[in-house]
Structure 1
Amino acid sequence: MTNGIYTLANDVVYDQLVALLNSIEANAGREIPVCVIPYDRRLDKVRAEIASRKNVTLFENESAIAYWENFVTQAWKTHPRTQRVWREWGVTGTYRLAMHRKLCGLNGPFDKFIYFDADTLLMGSLDYVYQKLDNHDWVANDFQYRSDLKYIFDGSPELLRKVFTQEQLSSQIFCAGWFAAKKQIFTEMMLADLLEKLKSGEADVMALGGPDQSLFNYMVLRSGVSYYNFAYHDVDQVTGNHWSSKFDVVDNVLYDQGRRLTYLHYMSIGSSQFTHLCAGEDVDIPYRDVFLYYRYLHSPESRPKTFNLPSPLTSLQRSTSSFLSHKAKRLMRKYRTFKDKISK
Structure 2
Amino acid sequence: MDGICTLGNDYVFDQVVALLNSIEVIYGQKMPVCIYPYDDNTDKLAAEIASRPQVTLYNDSVSMERWDSFAKAVWDTHPTARQTWEKAGSKGYHRFGTHRRYCAFDGPFDRFIYMDADTILMSNLDSIFAQLDDNDCIIYDFQHKDLTHVYDVNSNKLRDVFPEERLNKEIFCSGFYGSKKDLFSEEKRNELINYLDKGEAEILYCMAPDQTIINYMMMRSDFSIYNLALNLPQEEKTGCCVTSSHFENKDNILYDKGNRLTYIHYIGISSQIFKKVCQGENIDFPYRDIFLYYRYHNQPENLPKFTQKAVYYQQKPTVTQKILKKLGLN
TM-score norm. by structure 2 comes to 0.91
Superposed CA deviations along residues 53-79 of structure 1, whole A, max 9, x for unmatched, are 111110000111110010111011111
- Does 2:237 match 1:238? yes
SS at match of 1:180: strand
Does the 8 Å contact 2:29/2:54 carry over to 1? no
Quick one: structure 1 residues 223 and 263, their matched pair in 2 at CA, closer, same or farther if it must change by over 3 Å? same
Determine the C-alpha separation between the residues in 2 that align with 1:164 and 1:177: 22
Quick one: structure 1 residues 322 and 308, their matched pair in 2 at CA, closer, same or farther if it must change by over 3 Å? same
1:160 alignment partner, one of 154, 158, 161: 158
| Structural mapping, 1:76-155, within 5 Å | 76-147=75-146, 149-155=147-153
Paired letter, 1:251: D
Superposed CA deviations along residues 144-171 of structure 1, whole A, max 9, x for unmatched, are 0012x12111154531121011111111
Quick one: structure 1 residues 204 and 258, their matched pair in 2 at CA, closer, same or farther if it must change by over 3 Å? same
Deviation at 1:89, TM superposition (A): 2.4
Q: Which has the higher helix share?
A: 1
Does the 8 Å contact 1:29/1:124 carry over to 2? no
Does the 8 Å contact 2:85/2:207 carry over to 1? no
Determine the C-alpha separation between the residues in 1 that align with 2:127 and 2:323: 48
Paired letter, 1:198: L
Q: Which residue of 2 is the match for residue 308 of structure 1?
A: 308
Paired letter, 1:158: N
Superposed CA deviations along residues 223-255 of structure 1, whole A, max 9, x for unmatched, are 101211111122512210001111010000000
Q: Which residue of 2 is the match for residue 339 of structure 1?
A: none
Unaligned stretches of 5+ in structure 1? 326-344
- Does 2:180 match 1:192? no
TM-score norm. by structure 1 comes to 0.87
Unaligned stretches of 5+ in structure 2? 312-316
Determine the C-alpha separation between the residues in 2 that align with 1:297 and 1:87: 41
Quick one: structure 1 residues 57 and 29, their matched pair in 2 at CA, closer, same or farther if it must change by over 3 Å? closer
Two-structure CA RMSD over aligned residues (Å): 2.3
| Structural mapping, 1:1-344, within 5 Å | 2-28=1-27, 31-147=30-146, 149-156=147-154, 158-234=156-232, 236=234, 237-245=236-244, 246-309=246-309
Deviation at 1:87, TM superposition (A): 2.3
Report which stretch shifted further, 185-194 or 67-76.
185-194
Superposed CA deviations along residues 178-205 of structure 1, whole A, max 9, x for unmatched, are 1111001122222111111100100000
Quick one: structure 1 residues 190 and 320, their matched pair in 2 at CA, closer, same or farther if it must change by over 3 Å? farther
SS at match of 2:72: helix
SS at match of 1:158: coil
Does the 8 Å contact 1:247/1:255 carry over to 2? yes
Paired letter, 1:202: E
SS at match of 2:40: coil
SS at match of 2:212: helix
Query: How many residues were matched structurally?
Result: 319
Q: Which residue of 1 is the match for residue 314 of structure 2?
A: none
Does the 8 Å contact 2:155/2:203 carry over to 1? no
Deviation at 1:279, TM superposition (A): 1.4
Q: Which residue of 2 is the match for residue 340 of structure 1?
A: none
Paired letter, 1:162: D
Paired letter, 1:16: Q
Deviation at 1:310, TM superposition (A): 9.2
SS at match of 2:34: strand
Does the 8 Å contact 1:280/1:308 carry over to 2? no
Quick one: structure 1 residues 201 and 155, their matched pair in 2 at CA, closer, same or farther if it must change by over 3 Å? farther
Determine the C-alpha separation between the residues in 2 that align with 1:208 and 1:324: 33
Quick one: structure 1 residues 77 and 295, their matched pair in 2 at CA, closer, same or farther if it must change by over 3 Å? same
Quick one: structure 1 residues 252 and 310, their matched pair in 2 at CA, closer, same or farther if it must change by over 3 Å? closer
Paired letter, 1:39: Y
Paired letter, 1:94: Y
Deviation at 1:28, TM superposition (A): 3.7
Determine the C-alpha separation between the residues in 2 that align with 1:175 and 1:197: 23
Determine the C-alpha separation between the residues in 1 that align with 2:215 and 2:137: 11
Quick one: structure 1 residues 126 and 61, their matched pair in 2 at CA, closer, same or farther if it must change by over 3 Å? same
